[in-house]
Structure 1
């Protein structure tokens, strides 16, 4: 799993690209407070090499909590900027700081 950040000079926005290796998966989504935890909001595209990839434009100078939904199973990124406890899920969310 990988997260890349591209800060735009012309806008207060960062292009965040999420890459998830999941060759056996049928569907991967990135879900977080940036899309109201809506599992239908951000579906990642499956590439020929078996990874899923997608880009989200997020406002910079903020932090966002997120998780991946891989074939209906919640998963965390291996190397987010931080982790935050989620009482609702009784698990940790990944955090990305922009």
Structure 2
């Protein structure tokens, strides 16, 4: 799930997944972090979910995916669209 919040010409995007699905560590990777799995690991929020937040320019588009343990890549069903193998979001 994607949560968005506008702040002074930028958009704060929070990537949210259930705490245990998929099991193990998960990172959000995309063009906004140079596809670096260490940049935005999802962390527990204490409410049964885990999340990572990034701040992006308003009115921009970005490709992203999730990377879980075991080199398991997957998309976000709540994304604004897809461009081939990647999820897309618009801020």
TM class by smaller structure: 0.7 to 0.9
Any stretches of 5+ residues in structure 2 without a counterpart?
none
1:76 is matched with: 75
What is the CA–CA distance in structure 2 between the aligned matches of 1:55 and 1:7, rounded to whole Å? 13
Distance 2:64 2:30 in 1: 4
Residue by residue over 1:32-82, the C-alpha shift from the partner in whole angstroms, topping out at 9 and shown as x without a partner, is 000011111111102445422111111111100000011131010012101
What residue in structure 2 maps to residue 89 of structure 1?
none
State TM-score, norm by structure 1: 0.82
Number of equivalences: 89
Match of 2:65 in 1: 67
| Shift >6 Å, 4+ stretches | none
Q: CA RMSD in A?
A: 1.4
The unaligned stretches of length 5 or more in structure 1 are 86-91
Please say which structure displays the higher CA radius of gyration.
1
